[in-house]
Amino acid sequence: DEMVTAGRLPRLLAALVDAGVSMVIAIPALIGVFRYNPTRGIGELGGSLILLSVVGYIALFIYTLMLLSREGQTIGKRTIGIRIVRTDGERASLGRLFWLRYFVPGLIGAIPYLGWIFSLANILWIFGEQRRCLHDHIADTMVVNA
């Protein structure tokens, strides 16, 4: 099969879908936090809502790892019809995806002063000829149409 590099718009849409899923899971926790009362604490309902979000994020993390491992996709990439592969077209391993594509850039992004510059460059790199972000170069991956 010929690999066709995914366009910038499908990648953006996939990221927005992933962000939307995360926001839906965060809503119970936000409600729980907003229910905080300094004299009564967070309350039983607020604590339950926060716990619901924590369980939801754990489930989302496990499901995303399964999708990445099997198909090279997040929920957003699956919805939009794109996937992550190695630059030679082979399936990218879960370790490569998790550590090199997500963890290392996240760690660099957390470094004071350097982090925001890296994070901005990471995103802007997609406007290069290959349409690959810096995290793609770090992990030797690319996003293609599924």
DSSP code of 110? T
Reading the block at residue 123, the tokens are 């995103």
Q: Can you give the pLDDT of all 146 residues of the chain as single tens digits?
A: 679 999 999 999 999 999 999 999 999 988 888 877 777 777 788 888 889 999 999 999 999 999 999 999 999 999 999 999 999 999 999 999 999 999 999 999 999 999 999 999 999 999 999 999 999 999 999 999 99
Q: Is 42 helix (H, G, I), strand (E, B) or coil?
A: coil
CB 83, CB 71: distance < 8 Å: yes
DSSP code of 143? E
The residues facing 85 across adjacent strands are 91, 142
